[in-house]
Amino acid sequence: MYDIGTRRRALALLRSGATNAAVARTLHIPPGTISAWKHKDRAQRGECPGRVYRPLCPRCDGRGLDEAAYAYLLGLYLGDGHISHPRQHRVPSLRITLDDAWPGVQQEAVTAVRTVFPDNTASWVRKVGCHDVKVHSRHLVCLFPQHGPGRKHERAIVLEQWQQEIVDAHPWSFIRGLIHSDGSRIVNWTEKTVGGRMKRYEYPRYFFTNTSDDITRLCTDTLERVGVSWRSRRRATGAHDVSVARRDDVALMDRHVGPKR
């Protein structure tokens, strides 16, 4: 226990700008005690210890939003992203899992996160064969209202009107996000006999694979909006394979999406 005079002297030093460690050394008091005194003193004076500034939200506060970056990030979220809020954390976090085979996609994803959440810190979480790009924000659910309990393919996924307007304005950014998360560009090949000689023919195509009927429909609706034809088949696992194979459509996809890198 310390007398009131010692405590008042410690608080006077802290209010003058001295660090916790310096006050602890000067008064020969444990740093933890000094920290507790400082916290209580600031709370009693109406000051919030730590960061006072709270990042603004495009939905709650009208902050500007880079819509193209958001459309891309929305595509990534619907494919490989999820929001969680453990009880021990103050705010929820968004994680988007990205394969280490595509470092360019990983960099594009973290750039989009930093653009959509300019006041928050984006970080990497390393896993076996992949990385999670992660960001904490109390406004995640404001920007991604599709969040909810259970897996995405087990619940309805419907865009709100303001989200649909952004996707309509930036369809290629949204498609790019979907392809970068649950899609691919592959090169098929076949051999034919022409003039008695065997020739090899190669043709690229795009795939988007997802188990959710709603997310698959968002993909195909957006493809149709930009004039890309597609075909779909359902796997035995229940997942949908959306294929873009016509030469002109692949060329259009190459101009706006391109291979993963």
- At residue 90, the 3 state secondary structure works out as coil
Lowest mean pLDDT among 6-10, 49-53, 136-140: 49-53
* Displacement of CA 154 from its chain's centroid (Å): 21
Give pLDDT tens digits for 242-260: 999 999 999 999 999 999 9
Sequence-ordered strand ranges (E) for 128-230: 130-136, 183-194, 197-210
User: Are the CB atoms for 132 and 122 separated by under 8 Å?
Assistant: no
Give pLDDT tens digits for 173-220: 999 999 999 999 999 877 677 777 877 777 899 999 999 999 999 999
**pLDDT on residue 159:** 97
pTM: 0.77
**pLDDT on residue 192:** 72
Whether 3 has a pLDDT exceeding 80, the answer reads yes
| Tokens at 111, concatenated | 């750039």
β 197-210/130-136 pair status: unpaired
* Displacement of CA 199 from its chain's centroid (Å): 45
**pLDDT on residue 244:** 97
**pLDDT on residue 1:** 66
Name the DSSP class of 91.
S
Q: Which of 230, 234, 227, 228 is nearest to 213 (CA)?
A: 234
Whether 53 has a pLDDT exceeding 70, the answer reads no
**pLDDT on residue 47:** 64
Rounded CA-CA distance 180/227 in Å is 20
Radius of gyration of the chain (CA): 26
Tokens 């021990």 — which residue? 88
Give pLDDT tens digits for 82-124: 999 888 788 899 999 999 999 999 999 999 999 999 988 898 8
Tokens 């599709």 — which residue? 146
How much is the mean pLDDT over the chain? Answer: 90
Average pLDDT estimate for 144-149: 92
Half-sphere exposure of 165 (CA within 13 A, CB side): 3
The model's confidence at residue 2, banded by pLDDT at 50, 70 and 90, is confident
Higher-confidence residue: 2 or 205? 205
The model's confidence at residue 44, banded by pLDDT at 50, 70 and 90, is confident
Rounded CA-CA distance 192/201 in Å is 8
